[in-house]
Structure 1
Amino acid sequence: MTLDMDNVEVFDAGEKGRGLRTTKDLCPGEVVFAEPSFAAVVFDSLSQQVCHSCFRRQANLHRCAQCKFAHYCDRTCQTACWDEHKQECAAIKKYEKAPNENVRLTARVLWRIQKDTGIVSDGQLTSVDQLEDHVADMLAEDFKELKIDMQNFLDYCPKTRHGKEYISHIFGIIKCNGFTLSDQRGLQAVGVGLFPNLCLVNHDCWPNCTVILNHGNQSTLNAAYHSKRRIELRALSKISENEELTVGYVDFLNVSTDRQRALKHQYHFDCTCKSCSEHLKDDLKMAAKEIDGNKPSDQLVKEVQEFSLECLAKVEAACTAGDFHEVVKLCRECLHKQEPVFGKTHLYHLRMLSTASEVLSYLQFFSEAAEYAGRLVEGYMKLYHPNNAHLGMAIMRAGVTHWHAGLIKVGHEMICKAYAILMVTHGPNHPITKDLESMRMQTEMELRMFKQNEHVYHSMREAALQNKPMAEASSVEDNIKALSHKQ
């Protein structure tokens, strides 16, 4: 893939080191640049559920007959990935098992460097060697993990030409520069990759860009074009010429001190962006409920916060155990306790609403799920950037939940709103946006039907949900055989 980097240039960003800035004015949704991975691997836990070539989550994947570890959508995906997998395939066969993703990614990076050096195209603005590793800044626990990974790597690649110091350098680079890859629906992290140009984009808690993974074109039969997975850096708002490009390394939905702590631990720098320096929106994220000018006591707020943290831990354990009815019980109990104390934007309240709406939707209690999802979106809209991808995904899920609950007007409005956001963050060709476009058209049709005759609409909806045959009708809308409710 030829890298077109005409929109950006490297510059000295002061204490932040190197950075990227734009060389022209950019509009919201514009692709600043796209970049294929230098190397990428699927997470160990999902190795049999995600294609190792295009990183799409699929059923009935085909296993590599040689190493019996890598899995692919089909032979075309396998062929497209062979150049990246062939040395790994031989190493896994000889090692008789696959090491963890850190070791596998380090090996892939070193094999790529050995083959192509650290520069793979004229558009690559920095070599892998020039990226920061921060090994000297690692905490004792992280350094201990590094030593274990180093030993596993040497067992996995005993004939490596690289010295221990250089291998350690690559491990460090991956730890603080690796980019998490999501599946085609953007709902789950499925792997990690290294993108050298993206590594030059500095952090801001209120960034002007976002990064998404484009999984390539699976409709082509030519392996050379089948799986051109790449990240796309997209503008979230209008960006002026010579303005620095930034992305968020951590989720904004944390108070500034927690974000700073996470950034210091993972990326080894002190964030001094405006959001952190001025503690912007921290008051909303920890807001107590105010009624007629009166707020609950600090002691009561503290007690409910402690109760919420305990409850969130129990909810996580119940989710892991698959006991979703227990999750619902815990969420209802916690939300009931939070209601008179926390504001609508309190982080613990939003986290509980998020879990409750998702699990209730999974259990098909759509009316209650829709109520919680609507409240979640209301809180998110006061906290997130208007074009934030997390906000867009939350509105999409809320729209689908309302649709499932038979609240077609609100569902359609939310789906349209989510579509507008994801057109900016993901673009028109991403699978999520295409799904949303289909849902937007379907809900628009159903909304017209609803406005024509509510009784007929609800009767047809009930029949569709119960897989019953529908009566013939005269209008185009009435000839819809079933109502598609795909999340």
Structure 2
Amino acid sequence: MIVDSMENVELFSSEGKGRGLKAAKEFCAGDVIFAEPAYAAVVFDSLTAHVCHTCFKRQEKLQRCGQCKFAHYCDRTCQKDAWTNHKSECSAIKKNGKTPNENIRLAARIMWRIEREGTGLSEGCLVSIDDLQNHVDNFGEEERKELTADVQTFIDFWPPSSQQFGMQYISHIFGVINCNGFTLSDQRGLQAVGVGIFPNLCLVNHDCWPNCTVVFNNGNHEAVKSMFHTQMRIELRSLGKICKGEELSVSYVDFLNLREERRQQLKGQYYFDCTCEHCTKGLKEDLMLAVNDENKPSQGVVKEVIQFTKDTMEKISKARSEGAYHEVVKLCRECLKKQEPVLADSNIYMLRIMSLASEVLSYLQNFEEAAEYARKMVEGFLKLYHPNNAQLGMAVMRAGVTHWHAGLIEVGHSMICKAYAILLVTHGPTHPITKDLEAMRIQSEMELRMFKENEYVYYKMREAALKNQPIHVMPEPSSNTTPNSIFHKKQ
């Protein structure tokens, strides 16, 4: 069911949290509470020629705007739908002879919309751009320097013929982008491709253990295309039962961090101190720092292993950036050998190394070892994450596919089914990643039946199929993936 109005939510204000949204009726797991088109959105600088500037889908061949030579579109439909937002931008780019960065472009698109529609409430919005938090007063010295530079670049780019805005108001817009810019993903939700402003989403407060999740939908459902000309929207979806009058919340950061790490990230990017139950009571903290009960290591040994892990992760990061994936595997193996006698399987330092090892080993086609690490990783994740967490669902999906590639069809199929159940809630049945997963589930179920009927024949058929097909290369490990925080922080 597609919900494009805001009738399902109510705006409230409290002394502790400020404004927020609460449920106007009861919801069940997987319900779309509201859907919202972007007020303004842009593609990341690095992907402007690879992602449609209207629907934000990655495509191999895109049509370029014949005038500015900058904007790219899937087809004439996307180009036509984009013209209202691109017209002024197109003219400014041609006049300047160069294109500013994504931050300036997003600010300009917001300003041009304000020029067209005014600063009041836009249709379907519960809050205006003027009333969104900018936190400029909380900026540190370095952030203020960046803000000053952005404002000056914006003024140089902004056409004299357009409505003129004061320095303070321009600063407000950049402040809004800094702490409210939402990360947009490609059609399968696997890569971050842009940033947009969604005013209603900005009203949903944070909780480390939220009752809602946010998913970006590029207009893959026909009902969406008829509702929003931009063919893109975010959906706020319920993770479980929500009672009428209950506050709606999402997590701004990945839960799989220690509470002090989460608090530091929230304070640094969103300028507030988290007082959610999981932070104040330290829930799950014991599991995240659990040690091997059988060996009962001393505090000194635990501290030494954790420091060794941190040092190793720095080396891994360097090796990954250089494409030295065999070195990454070597470092992971060495670290895990040191961790296993000391840390428990739910310890986040061990989980991080196992996640890296599984990803890189899959890329190197070493599926059996990758599957073993993936299985242990999933077992740890299941103890820590909310049962309907989107990142848990994606991790279980990747682990299931890894087992499938390794020929471990029973475990692989089970994990794929588990991931499918989670993503039905977090992404919905029409999202491309859920559809892909459904196809995997059907295929793996068919292979599992073959396996149970005759294990020997199954492996012979599998071996023959692999010999007659080119090796399927897994995606190269990259840091350019969808961030774990829902809002985009300027890099």
User: TM-score by structure 2 length?
Assistant: 0.92
Residue in 1 that maps onto 2:292: 289
Letter in 2 for 1:345: S
Larger displacement relative to structure 2 (111-120 or 344-353) = 111-120
Residue in 1 that maps onto 2:12: 11
CA distance in 2, matches of 1:204, 1:365: 38
Larger displacement relative to structure 2 (316-325 or 191-200) = 316-325
Query: 2:211 touches 2:240 (CA, 8 Å); kept in 1?
Result: yes
What displacement does 1:96 show? 2.0
The match for 1:273 among 254, 273, 276 is 276
Query: 2:37 touches 2:230 (CA, 8 Å); kept in 1?
Result: no
Aligned positions, number: 472
The match for 1:263 among 255, 266, 273 is 266
Pair 1:194-2:197 in alignment: yes
What displacement does 1:242 show? 0.3
| TM-superposition CA deviations, 1:279-310 (whole Å, max 9, x none) | 1111211222221xx42121221121111111
Letter in 2 for 1:151: Q
What displacement does 1:121 show? 4.4
What displacement does 1:2 show? 9.0
What displacement does 1:56 show? 1.6
CA distance in 2, matches of 1:233, 1:316: 33
CA distance in 1, matches of 2:228, 2:172: 33
Alignment of 1:114-263 (within 5 A): 114-119=115-120, 121-159=122-160, 160=162, 161-217=164-220, 227-263=230-266
What SS does structure 2 have at the residue aligned with 1:15? coil
Q: Where in structure 1 are there 5+ consecutive unaligned residues?
A: 469-481
CA distance in 2, matches of 1:483, 1:427: 31
Residue in 2 that maps onto 1:475: none
Residue in 1 that maps onto 2:435: 434
Query: 2:21 touches 2:204 (CA, 8 Å); kept in 1?
Result: yes
Distance 1:3 1:295, change over 3 A: same
What SS does structure 2 have at the residue aligned with 1:217? coil
Q: Aligned Cα RMSD in Å?
A: 2.2
What displacement does 1:339 show? 1.3
Pair 1:102-2:103 in alignment: yes
Query: 1:77 touches 1:223 (CA, 8 Å); kept in 2?
Result: no
CA distance in 2, matches of 1:466, 1:2: 48
Residue in 2 that maps onto 1:393: 394
Query: 1:217 touches 1:227 (CA, 8 Å); kept in 2?
Result: no
Larger displacement relative to structure 2 (88-97 or 170-179) = 88-97
Query: 2:220 touches 2:430 (CA, 8 Å); kept in 1?
Result: no
Query: 1:217 touches 1:226 (CA, 8 Å); kept in 2?
Result: no
CA distance in 2, matches of 1:91, 1:127: 26
Distance 1:115 1:2, change over 3 A: farther
Letter in 1 for 2:456: H
CA distance in 2, matches of 1:2, 1:419: 23
Q: Where in structure 2 are there 5+ consecutive unaligned residues?
A: 476-491
What SS does structure 2 have at the residue aligned with 1:10? strand
Query: 2:329 touches 2:360 (CA, 8 Å); kept in 1?
Result: yes
What SS does structure 2 have at the residue aligned with 1:20? strand
Pair 1:447-2:430 in alignment: no
Alignment of 1:320-399 (within 5 A): 320-399=321-400
| TM-superposition CA deviations, 1:380-439 (whole Å, max 9, x none) | 101100000000000000000000000111111111100000000000100010001111
Letter in 1 for 2:267: K
Larger displacement relative to structure 2 (353-362 or 379-388) = 353-362
What displacement does 1:225 show? 6.2
Query: 2:122 touches 2:128 (CA, 8 Å); kept in 1?
Result: no
User: TM-score by structure 1 length?
Assistant: 0.92
Query: 2:37 touches 2:228 (CA, 8 Å); kept in 1?
Result: no
